[in-house]
Amino acid sequence: MCGIVGYIGREEAAPILLEGLSRLEYRGYDSAGIAVWSREDGLRVVKAKGRLQVLSDLVHGGADVHGTVGLGHTRWATHGEPSDVNAHPQVSGDGRFAVVHNGIIENYVEIREVLEAKGVKFTSQTDTEVVAHLLEYYYRGDVMEALTKVLHRVEGAYALGVICADCPDQLIAARKDSPLILGYGDGFNFLASDVTAVIKYTRDVCYLDDGEIAVLTRDGIQVYSHPYLLPVEKEHHQVNWEISAAEKGGYEHFMMKEIMEQPKAFRDTISPRIQNGRVVLEGLDIGEEFLGDMDRLYIIACGSSYHVGMAAKYTLERLLRKSVEVTLASEFRYCDPIVTDKTLALVISQSGETIDTLAALREARRLGARVLSIVNVVGSTIARESDDVLYTWAGPEIAVATTKAYSTQLAVVYLIGLYFAQKLGTIGREEYTGILDELQRIPDKIQRILERKEEIQYAASLYFNHASIFFIGRNIDYAVGMEGSLKLKEISYIHSEAYAAGELKHGTISLIEPGTLVVALASYGKLFEKLMSNVVEVKSRGADILGLTTESRKADMEKTADHVFAVPDTHPMLLPSLDVVPLQLFAYYVALMRGCDIDKPRNLAKSVTVE
């Protein structure tokens, strides 16, 4: 989704803004723009549809635009097609204000009509343009006063960056429901959608909260609360990862780099939390009493995080003997959920900013639930608004298609399962120790799969031209199949669906014809034979079968499947962590062979901050 970066300092702003925007590219966008102020040229705005490179070429990498203060933006179109005019910054009619925005101004139609009736001319179809015109409308020489009035008038979600040609020694930022961070430097300061945009220049950041306005000058940042403009003291945070973590490091794509990082990310996530043969979850303040009385456990998430929830359901129900409901965040909000003060909502989000997940979290809390979240981005809104948070120590994830975040979220689910089961007394000592020991072997087993990635590459070369691909599985194999299917369709644009294998004959089998590819997941030993019956059913209707099972079952599966990849054997509960890796690799290689833009798939955004 849209990315914002703002710089005020002593260096030329344009190259810094372009560089910052390039770090935000991963969020997903379809146009980009910058606004830079200089005494000679005033407020200069350059915007272009398409990749950032188009904008960069227009201004020769920034060399054509002078000035030491400015704003940059990558736009992911919502209101109005991707185009030069709809790109941000949006500018007021008098050219005094330039505005960048992430979010949606929900009452923009009404505001636009009122302004048009007063003679204001709009040039774009965006909701954002009303903010620029409203600033002009309310401006009587005091920018903060005008902005306060604008914020009072607009409804919806926003992270805003504003520059006013009358006060070029300051940048202004405001936030409600869309992420915005501030970066503190020596003689310069930044605002940005996330820390990746500023980390090259500073690690000293703070997270703007809802209802806050920040005024940035070269020498400092002052934050105020809206609407009375009372000064707010912000807590500073130090970003503790290296910029290299957000660079490709010799890989052709971030996605492959992140797939390869999974053993380390998994280990980093579990190791500090296993001490003396026990799971220790520091900061988690949920005791036996709450767990014993817990009436419902909801898992709430979107996209791949939701798929982690699907796998978690099988794991947690088995370990805790409590029923677990997995709900899409976008549905949870509006389904009148049954929640009490004995309900636990487990919220899963890589970015910690997904708007539907955040809204569902707020709804769950409003209704009385206790919220425990699994989040990757430290300091993100979901992390800050949860009662308890467990971080996945995966490091920054840049590729739109998530891989290491999925794996580390699963790792945390296992830890939570074991921790709660022990508290509830639903697990015996031997089983507990057995699972925990095996959990610590998972990183090495993932590594062994990665060392055989050429086998998957070969399988991809056999099937990359298929028009339609089905993933089938039972139990946790079904849950992993959902993720495998999503990964494939996201980046290769091949139509793909995942089915619980037993459901096939209730409709979908009518789509199976000679040449259809079925990826059959048969790693869950208990249901191996049942799954193989479904494989025979589709094979006899002409499907090609790509099988995924464990090493101990490989020979059995090869009797029916055309091609089989085997993962190392492990505890059944932990199988998703191994199964998902060949499926990620399969999606990657298929997309590569089809010439797709793997790290930036069309129409997708990494962090979905609008509804």
- Binding footprint of ligand G6P on the chain (CB under 6 A): 302-305, 349-351, 354, 357, 400, 402, 604, 606-608
| Chain centroid offset of residue 249 CA | 21
Single-letter amino acid, residue 106:
E
Between residues 13 and 302, which has the closer beta carbon with respect to ligand G6P? 302
Q: How far is the CB of 250 from ligand G6P (least distance, A)?
A: 24
Whether 121 is a known active-site residue: answer no
Instruction: Check 47, 322, 404, 606 and give the catalytic one.
Output: 606
For ligand G6P, the nearest residue by Cβ is 303
Cα torsion 449, 453, 458, 462: sign? positive
Contact 223, 180 (CB under 8 A): no
Q: How far is the CB of 349 from ligand G6P (least distance, A)?
A: 3
Pairwise CA distance, residues 4 & 266, whole Å: 31
Between residues 351 and 516, which has the closer beta carbon with respect to ligand G6P? 351
Between residues 579 and 599, which has the closer beta carbon with respect to ligand G6P? 599
What DSSP state is assigned to residue 177?
A: B
Q: How far is the CB of 496 from ligand G6P (least distance, A)?
A: 15
Whether 606 is a known active-site residue: answer yes
Task: Tell me which long-range contacts 183-186 makes (C-beta under 8 A, separation of at least 24).
Answer: 184/221, 184/236, 185/9
Between residues 245 and 509, which has the closer beta carbon with respect to ligand G6P? 245
Between residues 302 and 339, which has the closer beta carbon with respect to ligand G6P? 302
DSSP codes of every residue in 498-537: EEEGGGGGGTGGGG--TT-EEEEE---GGGHHHHHHHHHH
- The sheet carrying 204-207 orders its strands as 42-49, 31-38, 69-75, 3-8, 189-192, 181-184, 204-207, 237-238
Between residues 202 and 262, which has the closer beta carbon with respect to ligand G6P? 262
Backbone angles phi, psi at 404, to 5 degrees: -70, -25
Pairwise CA distance, residues 381 & 389, whole Å: 11
Backbone angles phi, psi at 121, to 5 degrees: -100, 125
494 contacts: CB under 8 Å, gap ≥ 6: 466, 467, 468, 469, 488, 590, 594
Between residues 27 and 101, which has the closer beta carbon with respect to ligand G6P? 27
Q: How far is the CB of 164 from ligand G6P (least distance, A)?
A: 34
Q: How far is the CB of 425 from ligand G6P (least distance, A)?
A: 32
Between residues 90 and 349, which has the closer beta carbon with respect to ligand G6P? 349
Q: How far is the CB of 9 from ligand G6P (least distance, A)?
A: 31
Instruction: Check 2, 167, 206, 596 and give the catalytic one.
Output: 2
The β-bridge partners of 545 are 518
Backbone angles phi, psi at 458, to 5 degrees: -65, -45
Q: What share of the chain is helix, strand, coil (3-state, %, to 5)?
A: 40, 25, 35
Q: How far is the CB of 82 from ligand G6P (least distance, A)?
A: 18
| Chain centroid offset of residue 442 CA | 24
Q: How far is the CB of 520 from ligand G6P (least distance, A)?
A: 24
Residue 46 Cα distances to 24, 59, 161, 211, 365, angstroms: 18, 8, 16, 30, 43
- Positions annotated as catalytic residues are 2, 606
